[in-house]
């Protein structure tokens, strides 16, 4: 028996590992991922392209198909989603837990009008009658800023522009007032005004419904403005976690330091993640020791030999980092 983490009423992820069998061997897309999201908490998940953010969210939702394999525990309100029978999972998915996908076109059903897709969700997860469902669908369209809602509800995804599709997907995800929202780059295709509106809406739902959110984004301004805590992923592993204030003010992992780069500390402006010198590692052939060592200015022989575990660096346990040299990194002068 694995030890059962104590219940926090929210999401507890332990040892989540997702691999894909590929022609070049086994790719480890997510490795030993541990994190918690308390009720009403917004946790940002950042990392460069291919670091495993989407795979992590899909694994939580149990949306990984062959040739993918998922192991570990995903505990939601005391129940293990990884082991949950499919029928029970269907009740949770789309109702209590909703996901906003990075690629709206692959997530929306191409042969169903948008209104029907909202309707399906409401039928499955609420007791609203037909009139109430219609009203709710219109309300959602307005909330996400889709004009001419009445007509738009009859239209199919291909009749929507990219930004409108993303809004439609957000409307579908929020239809049943989920308790946990997994949001994968939810506002990337949207202009700044609507982006602010959507993020404000998410925070409002968090306040009103204690909705927990995992927010994947490349925009550090969004992290600063929206998230309570953040987790940084590199090559499928979480390498640093902490409150947004702590991580921004004193990154302890060299990779986080690189990502944050010259972000204005106020966090007020929109700044995307910096790109880091060197190339991301191959997931089928990860470097020995710390996967980041080939790109790391702090790397020593120790880092080539051994993989640093993700460990608490301060007594509270809120701040965790996987780096043998985190003290040095934290003390280093701010990089330009
Ligand atoms: N079905 C699959 N088969 C094989 N490899 C996969 C599959 N799905 C994802 N991967 C691999 O898993 C790794 C992580 O992908 P993921 O989509 O999680 O990255 P990401 O962090 O979301 O990146 P981005 O910021 O570009 O969205 C990638 O190398 C990807 O190629
Ligand atoms: Mg992704």
pLDDT in tens, the chain (336 residues): 344 445 568 999 999 999 999 999 999 999 999 999 999 999 999 999 999 999 999 999 999 999 999 999 999 999 999 999 999 998 899 889 999 999 888 889 999 999 999 999 999 999 999 999 999 999 999 888 899 999 999 999 999 998 899 999 999 999 999 999 999 999 887 888 888 888 998 898 899 889 999 999 988 889 999 999 999 999 999 999 999 999 999 999 999 998 887 444 544 445 666 677 888 899 999 999 999 999 999 999 999 999 999 999 876 668 999 999 999 998 886 554
Does any ligand 1 atom lie closer than 6 A to the CB of residue 102? Answer: yes
Q: What CATH number does domain 6-96+178-265+273-331 carry, 3.10.620.30, 3.40.50.300, 3.10.20.30, 3.40.50.150?
A: 3.40.50.300
- Closest Cα to atom 26 of ligand 1: 49
Please, what sign has the CA dihedral across residues 110, 164, 231, 234?
A: positive
SS3 215: strand
Report residue 25: phi and psi, to 5°: 110, -170
**Interatomic CA distance for residues 320 and 274, integer angstroms:** 22
To test ligand 1's pocket by mutation, which of 17, 18, 20, 222 has the most ligand atoms within 8 angstroms of CB?
20
Closest ligand to residue 55's CA: 1
Q: 302 C-alpha to center of ligand 1: Å?
A: 29
Mutational test site, ligand 1, from 23, 26, 54, 216, max ligand atoms within 8 Å of CB: 54
User: What integer pLDDT is reported at residue 3 of this predicted model?
Assistant: 42
The finding on whether 186 has its CB within 6 A of some atom of ligand 1 is no
Positive or negative CA dihedral for 222, 223, 228, 231? Answer: positive
Q: How far is 203 from 201, CA to CA, in rounded Å? A: 5
Q: Which of 47, 52, 222 to mutate to test the pocket of ligand 1 (most atoms within 8 A of CB)?
A: 52
Domain ranges of the chain: 6-96+178-265+273-331, 111-176
- Closest-approaching ligand to the CA atom of 27: 1
CA of 50 to the centre of ligand 1 (A): 5
Ligand 2 centre and the CA of 56: distance in Å?
A: 9
Confidence (pLDDT) at 286: 93
Count of C-beta atoms within a 10 Å radius of residue 249: 12
Protein residues with C-beta less than 5 angstroms from the ion ligand 2: 54, 102
């Amino acid at each position: 028996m694995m030890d059962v983490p104590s219940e926090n009423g929210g999401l507890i992820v332990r040892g989540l590992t997702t691999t894909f069998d590929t022609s070049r061997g086994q790719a480890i897309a997510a490795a030993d991922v541990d994190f918690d999201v308390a009720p009403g908490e917004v946790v940002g998940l950042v990392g460069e392209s291919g670091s495993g953010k989407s795979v992590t969210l899909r694994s939580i939702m149990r949306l990984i198909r062959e040739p993918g394999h998922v192991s570990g525990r995903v505990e939601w309100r005391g129940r293990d989603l990884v082991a949950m029978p499919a029928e029970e999972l269907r009740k949770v998915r789309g109702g209590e837990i909703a996901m906003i996908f990075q690629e709206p076109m692959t997530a929306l059903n191409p042969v169903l009008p948008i209104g029907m897709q909202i309707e399906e969700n409401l039928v499955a997860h609420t007791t609203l009658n037909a009139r109430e469902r219609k009203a709710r669908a219109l309300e959602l369209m307005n909330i996400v800023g889709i004009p001419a809602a009445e007509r738009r509800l009859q239209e199919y995804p291909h009749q929507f522009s990219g930004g409108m599709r993303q809004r439609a997907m957000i409307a579908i995800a929020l239809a049943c007032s989920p308790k946990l929202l997994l949001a994968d780059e939810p506002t990337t295709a949207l202009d700044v005004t609507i982006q602010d509106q959507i993020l404000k809406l998410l925070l409002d739902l968090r306040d009103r419904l204690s909705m927990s959110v995992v927010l994947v984004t490349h925009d550090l301004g969004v992290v600063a403005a929206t998230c309570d805590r953040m987790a940084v992923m590199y090559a499928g592993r979480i390498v640093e976690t902490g409150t947004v204030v702590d991580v921004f003010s004193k990154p302890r992992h060299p990779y986080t330091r690189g990502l944050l780069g010259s972000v204005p500390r106020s966090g007020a402006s929109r700044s995307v993640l910096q790109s880091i010198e060197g190339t991301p590692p191959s997931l089928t052939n990860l470097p020995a020791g710390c996967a980041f060592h080939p790109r790391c200015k702090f790397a020593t022989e120790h880092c080539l030999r051994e993989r640093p575990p993700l460990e608490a660096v301060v007594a509270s346990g809120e701040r965790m980092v996987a780096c043998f040299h985190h003290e040095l990194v934290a003390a280093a002068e701010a990089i330009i």
